[in-house]
Amino acid sequence: MTFKDLQLIEPIQKALKNKGYVQPTPIQEQAIPYLLHHNDLLGSAQTGTGKTAAFAIPIIQHIYNDRKDSHSKRKIKALVVTPTRELAIQIADNFTAYAKYTGLRNTVIFGGVKQASQVAKLKQGVDVLVATPGRLLDLMGQGIISLRDIQYFVLDEADHMLDMGFIHDIKKLLVKLPQQRQSLFFSATMPKAIIELSGTILKKNYKRVSIKPQQATAELVNQAVYFVSKNDKIKLLAALIIEKNPSSILVFSRTKHGANKIVKLLNKAGISAEAIHGNKSQSARQKTLKSFKEGSLKVLVATDIAARGIDVSKLAMVINYDLPNISETYVHRIGRTGRAKESGIAISFCAADERSFLRDIEKLIKQKVPVITEHDYHDSSKELPPLKQGGGRSRPKRPQSHKRSKR
């Protein structure tokens, strides 16, 4: 199947051709026909599967067809809510690209910066608004934004919304939305709380599209794991960067403090690196991202939440400095390389107390990650967490956030 088979209008076809899009990804192929027929949709898909285009393209087509014979003032017809600034900016950029020949306007709003320039764009009139929850509620409270004309509502990265404590904000938004609307709900994982939330947003006859992690990840990603002690991780990281010398490296740290420490130690070793996480100012984060995307910065260290929205074409390597204790997170991380039929490399560091995380990851992806033993920092210890009676393994609970993150 090609995009020409999806009954898309000529202006969108032209924009997709400019982007070099020919064949839709699985989620695009499945979701776009449902959305063009005005169905509500529950989508289970991770970052990197093409889900932004899956929802943006039908929304643009609907609004374009509704507007082409209208000369009325622009009103916000579509609202996309997403947890982080970086992801919001990326989504808005994609709307701009896909709507290039339609005459439609979009803008993005998020906290952490002054609102004046965002308000000015809103007053000029927009068709599509991409927003983080905090700034959206703030501008609604000031009377600057009204949701009464919304016809298309997208809640993206719903699982991270809950992890970041945005559930109450989402509930506040839902009561302000018109009952007659098309709703789209996307989440990489589907725990009980997410299913319950989706039930309050979607119509009963909604359609469901699920792109499973093992389908979406990376047949083209070469995975490897290095057993290494915690104290030797930074030495191994520096050695690999120097030895392999990839064009771009995204290093994942479990914490903000850890990301800063990694950058400090790499710089001390003569390797230029920068960190991106929630404690950085918006301007600093955007400057760092711009340098990384343009190639002037080779090594970027990020936390999982801050990395949402990082979309770098031909990302050469992902390194899991800390293995995640949630297996699906591993899939999200390595899915950032090996995109668009390009090959990629995903390397994980595994300390003795992270071996249980590795076993869970391998169970999820249904394959063993090759172990590299030929390196100076190999840790041959066989330490594993004790097994509970009955065969169950003791493992950390999934971290939960009860406070709203400032995004």
CATH no. for residue 348?
3.40.50.300
Residues 237 and 279 in one domain: yes
Domain check: are 111 and 141 in the same one?
yes
pLDDT score of 327: 83
Same domain, 23 and 88: yes
In sign, the C-alpha dihedral spanning 174, 175, 176, 179 is positive
| pTM across the whole model | 0.68
Domain that holds residue 289: 215-365
Count the neighbouring beta carbons within 10 Å of the beta carbon of residue 75: 13
The residue ranges of the chain whose pLDDT is under 50 are 214-216, 340, 383-407
- Does 353 share its domain with 204? no
The answer to whether residue 383 is domain-embedded is no
Note whether 204 and 246 are same-domain residues: no
Q: What is the pLDDT of residues 162-192, one digit of tens each?
A: 877 888 999 999 999 999 999 999 987 787 8
The whole-number pLDDT of residue 390 equals: 42
Q: How many domains does the chain fold into? A: 2
Flag whether 393 is in a domain. Answer: no
155 and 96 in a common domain:
yes
CA-closest candidate to residue 274, choices 305, 316, 306: 306
Q: Is residue 391 part of a domain?
A: no
Residue 249: helix, strand or coil by DSSP? strand
pLDDT of residue 116: 96
Say if residue 7 is exposed, middle or buried (CB neighbours under 10 Å; 0-12, 13-18, 19+): exposed
- 107 vs 109: CA distance, rounded Å: 7
Q: What pLDDT score does 78 carry?
A: 98
